[in-house]
Structure 1
Amino acid sequence: MAPFPPHFIDAETATPLETADVVILPVPYEATTTYRKGCQHGPLALLQASDQLEHYDVELRQATCFKVGIAIAEAIADSSVDPDLTPEAMVDVVKAGVLPLLQAGKFVITLGGEHGITAGVVAAYQAAFTEPFTVVQIDAHGDLRHSYCGSIYNHACVMRRVMDLGIPSLPVAIRSICQEEADLIASQKIPVQWDHERGQDPDWIEEAIATITTESVFLTIDLDGLDPAIMPGVGTPQPGGLNWNQTTQFLRQLFTNRRVIGCDVMELAPLSDSVVSEFTAAKLVYKLIGYHALCNGRLD
């Protein structure tokens, strides 16, 4: 695998880790994917694609990257370097890698890699923050199975592990679950924003955010939550999902109405003959940085 770029967008915007406001943490781990493989290459592809982003954000009407220090942390849990790293051990490695960044006051955006990584990320947030928070999940799948293919840390189980930590969730754009997950959602009254219902409700964003009972939220984005028309490079695509404008509208309102304490962007599996997915994912990360900066007084 090629070395990770030392910056997001370009060298002109690079900031030392010690003084950065935002830290992007690559976690190129893949071990439990069950359909199309390749998400271990997602973090590198996203960072390389960010070189093609404009500094200026048309929506926010300013060049966010010159007002917010952005640094790239050293990659952790790289399955190309350590192919024998088990999912259980990976979760511990990720928690140990994320926690010092949070304790240093950084806004961390973790890049995967398979969605199982989020179990370690969320565990680090729970250790770092005393106040309760909700995990907002953009995803095509419920990811609520207790175990799958012999592991409770399979990518299809990550939100079940979040539930085990006693953390509430808000799943958005869900359109594929199994019977076990359907029963759990009903018994636990999880406020799932089903994709087919969202499409019929013009007020779905306000109604979804209103179900969040905590002031703070952690945002996990499995990129298959987006419409495969704009995000084809994922391991388990599903018809439907959020288009670009729906995604950014939801995210901006989420950042505006809640305190977003961190994010991750998972499951980018680059295609060999297209750069659409990695470029869109890079632009999505830039949006996350912009909305965080806007809601924390860093932008005009």
Structure 2
Amino acid sequence: MLTQTPIAELPFLGDEVVASYDTARVVILPIPYEATTTYRKGCEHGPAALLEASHQVEYFDEEFDREFWPVGIYTHEAIADTRRGPVSAEEMLKQTQETVAKLIADGKFVIGLGGEHSITTGLVEAYRQANDEPFTVVQIDAHGDLRHEYEGSIHNHACIMRRVVDMGLPTLQIGIRSICKEEADLIKEKNLKVFRAREIAMNPGWIDEAVASIATQKVFFTIDLDGIDPTLMPGVGTPEPGGLHWYAMMTFIRKVFEAHDVIGADVMELAPISDSVVSEFTAAKLVYKLIGYQAVVKGWL
């Protein structure tokens, strides 16, 4: 459902639990940027829809028998907002990198909300510059996103993980079920770690194997919502059948948080469907779970 409410009036979870920037441990960063969508458009409306849906999320988490909002959650003003007019890829990446760099310097745990997946380049670059040691980018996605360029742009949403590989960072791809030959060749050439959706469906031990394959202590999560099966997450730009299911995905994510130091995350490619709220609500609950897992492992509560 498309919302006309300005993002500034949509703090994550609602006004009742909003924290000031200075006291917040977590910053939600809306980036409603869309420029290279190649199928179903509308992801620039994803952040606002997610934030509005978050007002319906229960504060109490039944998995951990507690509420997570007391960690302090601050919703940043939107950046690179193409709903207000065109924004170049270069300007979007500049705004994203500079904003995230400041948030990192201030000690915030950042969760970016997209918007199209190309945004992730700016977030990852900010973390790369802020960290002396390498970290693994763990991608949940239907698509490899490993093309060098697509439709004339190296900053197309289909190229984000190629940009990460070019940065020299290790990657782990989860739920992949759509790649082109160029991407298949690169996976073999670089020996990239990929847990394909088809293989996941036939391997009950995939979660432990995937977590054990992460060689770095630090991890950045990038979650393209089309990694989830479209029967559960229809509101995306490029749906693919056969994706991840909720409890398997959340078990994997929780185990990564418990075994590694998750330094930041993003949730991308929500494209709301008129007269339906299931996708944005599911995405909002996913964001709250990310906050909860970080709060538990860091001992914030």
**TM-score by structure 1 length?**
0.97
Aligned pair partner of 1:59 in 57, 63, 67: 63
Deviation track 1:264-283 (CA, whole Å, cap 9, x = no partner) reads 00000000021000000000
Aligned pair partner of 1:44 in 19, 38, 48: 48
- Is the 1:134–1:216 Cα contact (8 Å) retained in structure 2? yes
Q: Identify the residue that residue 292 of structure 1 maps to in structure 2.
A: 294
- Is the 1:221–1:266 Cα contact (8 Å) retained in structure 2? yes
Aligned 1:22-37 pairs, distance under 5 A: 22-37=26-41
Q: Identify the residue that residue 102 of structure 2 maps to in structure 1.
A: 100
Q: Identify the residue that residue 24 of structure 2 maps to in structure 1.
A: 20
- Partner-residue secondary structure (3-state), 1:192: strand
Question: Is 2:246 the counterpart of 1:273?
Answer: no
Distance across 2 between alignment mates of 1:15 and 1:88 = 32
Distance across 2 between alignment mates of 1:279 and 1:145 = 31
Aligned pair partner of 1:241 in 228, 240, 243: 243
Aligned 1:124-273 pairs, distance under 5 A: 124-273=126-275
**TM-score by structure 2 length?**
0.97
Deviation track 1:200-228 (CA, whole Å, cap 9, x = no partner) reads 11110110111111000000000000011
- Is the 1:268–1:277 Cα contact (8 Å) retained in structure 2? yes
- Is the 1:6–1:14 Cα contact (8 Å) retained in structure 2? no
Offset of 1:89 from its aligned partner?
2.5
Unaligned 5+ runs, structure 1: none
Give the superposed CA RMSD. 0.9
Question: Which amino acid in the other structure matches residue 283 of structure 2?
Answer: A
Deviation track 1:90-133 (CA, whole Å, cap 9, x = no partner) reads 11221111110001000000000000000011000011121210
Count residues in correspondence: 297
- Partner-residue secondary structure (3-state), 1:136: strand
Deviation track 1:278-297 (CA, whole Å, cap 9, x = no partner) reads 00000000000000000001
- Partner-residue secondary structure (3-state), 2:146: coil
Q: Identify the residue that residue 76 of structure 2 maps to in structure 1.
A: 73
- Is the 2:10–2:52 Cα contact (8 Å) retained in structure 1? no
Offset of 1:2 from its aligned partner?
2.7
Question: Which amino acid in the other structure matches residue 57 of structure 1?
Answer: D
Distance across 2 between alignment mates of 1:93 and 1:26 = 12
- Is the 2:80–2:92 Cα contact (8 Å) retained in structure 1? yes
- Is the 1:256–1:295 Cα contact (8 Å) retained in structure 2? yes
Question: Is 2:284 the counterpart of 1:282?
Answer: yes
Aligned identity (percent) is: 59
